[in-house]
Structure 1
């Protein structure tokens, strides 16, 4: 067998790996999308979003500028965004339901009433998000997408896969993460860091960088060297630590955006609950091991 034939066979094998991995994710996305539209089940929404995110990850490796896959990438991006709105509302509502149950068991009726009002408000928002998803997702996961996908697999995948090395992408993502981590550490060393929008925005960007590494390690595992195989677990842990901080921040911002008057809550109850959430943000910040916070902070 000639060297040329060996190279060709190797490329065919590489393309086949990409095709199998991406088709599996695509089928999952389609199946979970159908399930999501049938009843808006939490797991269907979550898995449809996860699989669309993994597809976006692999498309970004193959075509970083999205010049060849713009239409396909845009479709998955729109789907992910609309699924994400519903998923985020699901998570917030579930969390606040748990808090309400705990408040009721503790005999804290005023806090329980506050949480009931927040849940009701968020359910109304989720209803609107679900309506938009119900209108958009059939178009984003229907026959048009099938045509785009089949064209991508048959015409575009092989030349794109021939030019890309997922290991190089992983290393680039690592470097970007390390730079963002360094920035965060510097910002959180400053006095009053917990009051700094800049510091928390940087932390949010760091969480996104960890998420990208985690998803790349998972979705592109078939194309990665052994040294990257542990990265999914490593960056999942990092993402979760930073996610706890981010979630509590988002909940606090959500409450403030709604406002005490809109929820018809007394000043003392409102102050006690929001101060408690602020304390939880600080506790999560101090407990995280990704960006150590040793200075005294006040939110």
Structure 2
């Protein structure tokens, strides 16, 4: 028997006999007999010398009208796919043999977006998806644990910074796959706060030492140095607390929770995940956060606390989206790089604004401890406020809304 050609029953009950079979069996312009197969479900089409109502012919397009009684008996309605083959001197019309689109198996078929896939291939595909997510997250967790260890052993700024960054990435990915209430998330949130108290002061100290070096006024230089010294003392206290508390949070129990989640729970979050839909939800949240900021900033000063807090919300969601785009680029080999680059550049602007906001808060917290004339302290405070206003003025959030809606 020849290989099968697949054709569909049209709305008139006709079926096109493939040209290859018409030519091979010389069916055109011939009287044809259509009868049920004797050994299986289907019809047999052959040339006949008989005359009468039962005789069929092909039209000029090679179409054969299947009688209604045969169509009803075989359940061959409009759109039904029929395999057409030939065997010696007759054509065979049968239901299309349903096979897996991937391996060709006829066993245990499942319909996936109008395509048939066997359970074996579906299972293998699902395992590949889970393995990719597992591998990506495992890399983040391994780095996170290492940076947490280094932040305690070496007490260097970069390890603290990287521990926070990797913790944020893990939390963003978990949120993306709908893991929001989980012991892992609780531990990551707690650790993030404690690492943050050290990191925020590291950034302040570095910045104000640089400003002291660059200051053209000796009095201002002294104010910057005193502020840096005050914050450095507080930084030591937070580092000691971190050294005591972080090992209790990111400990063996945390690692066990992660291993259990990775091996037993992760699949139930990533397999039903609608990636494009979920990505769009985050991007919509980003647009909504910008619109909220624009609304608040139109009613209040841009440097007011509420306005800056709404702008900080924009920064947080933009970070999450960047981390998510980078993850999807790796996991699915898809091109999310351009989106990630855009959100990184946008996030950098927001980061500078947030840093200035934090510096002003710390400045006001320690200003009474500074041994300097009030006019010098006031001048530096005003300079920071002016710098903050200038950065906010440079923001083009409407452009960000348009980019996200593309």
TM-score normalised to structure 2 length: 0.66
**Greater helix share, 1 or 2?**
1
Q: Distance in 2 between matches of 1:187 and 1:62?
A: 31
Cα drift, residue 229 of structure 1: 3.3
For residues 232-264 of structure 1, the C-alpha deviation after alignment (integer angstroms, 9 at most, x for no partner) is 1111111111221221122112211223x3222
Q: 2:382 aligns with which of 252, 258, 275?
A: 275
Q: Distance in 2 between matches of 1:196 and 1:128?
A: 30
- Which residue of 1 is the match for residue 140 of structure 2? 25
- Which residue of 2 is the match for residue 257 of structure 1? 365
Kindly report which structure 2 residues correspond to 1:99-248, keeping only aligned pairs within 5 A, or say none.
99-103=211-215, 106=216, 108-190=217-299, 193-223=301-331, 226=334, 228-248=336-356
How many pairs are equivalent? Answer: 284
- Which residue of 2 is the match for residue 296 of structure 1? none
State the SS of the aligned residue for 1:163.
coil
Cα drift, residue 60 of structure 1: 1.5
Pick closer, same or farther for the CA change 1:187–1:225 going to 2, 3 Å: farther
- Which residue of 2 is the match for residue 297 of structure 1? none
Pick closer, same or farther for the CA change 1:159–1:96 going to 2, 3 Å: same
Q: 1:12 aligns with which of 127, 135, 148?
A: 127
For residues 12-57 of structure 1, the C-alpha deviation after alignment (integer angstroms, 9 at most, x for no partner) is 0000001100111111111111111111112211111111111112
Q: Distance in 1 between matches of 2:175 and 2:279?
A: 12
- Which residue of 1 is the match for residue 113 of structure 2? none
User: Within the alignment, does 1:57 sit opposite 2:172 as a pair?
Assistant: yes
Q: Distance in 1 between matches of 2:333 and 2:154?
A: 40
Query: Mind listing any 5+ residue stretches in structure 2 that lack a counterpart?
Result: 1-104, 108-117, 400-406
Q: Distance in 1 between matches of 2:346 and 2:379?
A: 30
Cα drift, residue 63 of structure 1: 3.0
Instruction: Report the more deviating stretch, 165-174 or 264-273.
Output: 165-174
**Greater strand share, 1 or 2?**
2
Pick closer, same or farther for the CA change 1:133–1:165 going to 2, 3 Å: farther
The answer to which structure, 1 or 2, has the higher relative contact order (CA under 8 A, 6+ apart) is 1
- Note the aligned Cα RMSD (angstroms): 2.0
Q: Distance in 1 between matches of 2:303 and 2:213?
A: 31
Cα drift, residue 178 of structure 1: 0.8
- Contact 2:147/2:159 (<8 A) preserved: yes
For residues 131-176 of structure 1, the C-alpha deviation after alignment (integer angstroms, 9 at most, x for no partner) is 1110122223332222111111121112222122333222111001
- Contact 2:328/2:336 (<8 A) preserved: no
Q: Distance in 2 between matches of 1:52 and 1:201?
A: 22
Cα drift, residue 291 of structure 1: 5.8
Cα drift, residue 269 of structure 1: 0.4
Cα drift, residue 80 of structure 1: 1.7
Query: Mind listing any 5+ residue stretches in structure 1 that lack a counterpart?
Result: 293-299
Kindly report which structure 2 residues correspond to 1:32-47, keeping only aligned pairs within 5 A, or say none.
32-47=147-162
For residues 168-226 of structure 1, the C-alpha deviation after alignment (integer angstroms, 9 at most, x for no partner) is 22211100111121222333345x63354332222111111111111222234334584
- Contact 1:93/1:123 (<8 A) preserved: yes
Q: 2:196 aligns with which of 84, 102, 116?
A: 84
For residues 91-110 of structure 1, the C-alpha deviation after alignment (integer angstroms, 9 at most, x for no partner) is 1110001001012xx2x111
TM-score normalised to structure 1 length: 0.88
